[in-house]
Chains A and B, each alone.
Chain A
Amino acid sequence: MSIKFLALTDVCAWLEELSGNFTVHVPQAQGSAVVYRPWVKGAAALPELRKKPTESAKHVLFPRSERLFSFRREADLSVTLEEAQKTGPQLIFGMLSCDARGFLGFDPVYGGGNSKGAAADPYYLGRRDEAVLIVRACKNALNTCFCTWVGGDPASRDGADVLVTELDEGMVLEPVTDKGEALMESSLLKAAGAGQINAATALHDQCRAQMAIAGAVPDISTAPAALYSLFENAEFWSGQSAGCLSCGICTYLCPTCYCFNITDEEAGSGGVRMRSWDNCMSYQYTLEASGHNPRPGKAERLRNRIGHKFAYYPRTNEGRFLCSGCGRCIKSCPSSIDIRRIVLDALSEQEAANVKQ
């Protein structure tokens, strides 16, 4: 594969070129936040690549809300269905590696892969197959970053089609897949020199070193067992969830949370079937038609969120955690609830219980 170099002055031109074939999503500053939004053709400003995006890029492949189809009741009482239009090929430029790895958590669920009899989801898969992910290596690590706990790395190539490393005067582009390689043909891209490639590697190492300041990466491989054994420990979960507001920040900003709800919105003799993000922190998430709610309180709901990511999902997905360590759930939590702390507390509870036995 050919490693390329893109001069900083050519970035906008390349995005312009790419937007001929794709809807290109780039990180953009909006108020105090950084969000992934479509590149507007002709834009002269560079994407926001300094600050880490506030939200993940999951909405590109899994929209916050999408119309699955619309329906209309005709005069003869027959029903006409109309499928929603397809999105078309999309490209995400400058996404974080934790965001790209997030889709690896989606894939088995929506691909129908690991569970027997599970249906594949054509809406997600359609977008996924056509998507190209250009991941940027992280230049800095935040206190809330913990990708290295869950198999990630600031310059991870997992899930990426191209890995971009930003130098002062431009970007080193390393294609990872055939999809990525196909983008390398642009005349705006020059062959990267050895000095540039070495500088990129040095930046990756520096970010790893910044992550290491926080200390050694703990071994959380026994988290599933610890969480299963804590399932009925009400005191543990009420303590961990005491500060929780039951809002949806942690799930909505998460690159791996994939739950949705379906709502028919009718007006007159027609309507639309909507699929929109759901959020397991909400009371309505498990509210049953009878009025019974198996997860009536925030303790049960937080237990489910942590359990799903670090115990139930890994059990059916070859031990893979449903977490890419982006840390947004910590960084944006109004109560500063720290998912790492909960997992570590669960492990020490388990250890204490083992000592007692």
Chain B
Amino acid sequence: MSINQQLREAIVRVLPEVDMVIGWGPGEDSLHQSPLFMKKPEDVDGFEAGSLSVHNTALYLPDLKGKKIGVVVKGCDSRSVGQLLAEKLIKRDELTIIGFPCRGVIDQDKVAKALADLTNGSIEPGEVRTADFTDEEVVVTAGFEGKEFRLARADVLADKCGRCEYPNAVISDIFVGEKIKTEAKDEYADLAAFEAMSLEERMAFWEKEMERCTRCYACRNACPLCVCRNHCIADSRDPQWLGQANGVREKLFFQIIHASHLAGRCTGCGECERACPVGIPVLLLKRCLSRGVEHLFFYKAGLDPEATPPLMTFEVEERRIKEREWK
């Protein structure tokens, strides 16, 4: 039985105990899925977990507090659930967590690039008519003539999946399928590459990237740990922290606020970056702080729902912060 058949069976089994199960279902075309909210057994027919199941299902949990929820999670989604639990923003006894081994999800921008390379820029992902996902390839038919194109899976896999240490749900009530063993280690190579630039170059990089920001705040709203929701200081007019001018200053200011608020909380799911309609690499800022928290406090967000996140507590003698030795 395929993983998806097993998952569908597990969801149907869980449904009578919960108000809904959150997973993934059909999207607007063969390259997209949409979050699926299953309430009746027939809703489960549309469920599928796979390379297009990009959405972090944990996102919806804080708003559904008080309800019994089943949630299907990839490894990264499960870490968001773990962090929300550690911060007591959701309740464990209201959740039934269904995990599965995730083989990674695709990045639409990379698909666009791979297709453009193959077709001299003449075909966009929006023209893909069918898509098949194998272990090694994404085989699509696209364009007016429905020609076939074969994209190497490695070329279109999301960056976060390439460095993923936790492809299996780190927390689950039901785990379907066989756990994936991985040797991957996240060494923050992307950050190291960025930091090879001078400070001036880095500032110029962000000025260039942020110029096209539309201030839609999808980065914030797609973040499962951004739980202020309707009360974000970015929207408040009284007091008004952020100006309404369409300047890089305001845009970058918000990104710094967002990243700071996620220090020690961000699990690196990358939904902020995926949601960005204009492809600004905003995850990089959060990863900088995650690396710092990892180094300072030996803490990786979302791995242990019982943990007290380091910025929600303090040690009298921090192991890596030696104030007494400061000069």
Contacts and interface: CB of A to CB of B under 8 A. Distances in A.
A332 B271 CA distance: 13
A130 B211 CA distance: 26
A206 B216 CA distance: 35
A334 B217 contact: no
Contacts, number: 147
A245 B229 CA distance: 10
B34 interface: yes
Interface stretch (A90-98, A137-145, A302-310, A314-322): A137-145
A338 interface: yes
B29 interface: yes
Contact of A143 (B127, B230, B277, B279): B127
B235 interface: yes
B244 A336 contact: no
Contacts of A51: 116, 121, 124
Nearest to B274: A334
Given A274-B245, A284-B235, A332-B277, A245 B124 contact: no
A247 B229 CA distance: 10
Instruction: Report, as a range, how many residues of chain B touch the other chain.
Output: 35 or more
A119 B218 CA distance: 33
Nearest to B211: A30
Nearest to A341: B28
A140 B60 CA distance: 36
Contact of B215 (A213, A248, A253, A331): A248
B246 to A, nearest CB: 4
A32 B27 contact: no
B96 interface: no
B209 A282 contact: no
B143 interface: yes
A282 B124 CA distance: 31
Given A143-B127, A335-B34, A335-B55, A65 B28 contact: no
A248 B244 contact: no
Nearest to A340: B28
Interface of A: 30-33, 35, 50-52, 54-55, 63-65, 140-145, 206, 209-210, 213, 239, 242-243, 245-249, 252-253, 261, 263, 265, 274, 276-277, 279, 282-284, 330-332, 334-338, 341
11 contacts: A31-B279, A33-B278, A64-B215, A245-B275, A246-B229, A265-B240, A277-B215, A334-B222, A335-B55, A336-B32, A336-B33
Nearest 4 CB-CB pairs, A to B?
A142-B126, A32-B279, A336-B27, A247-B218
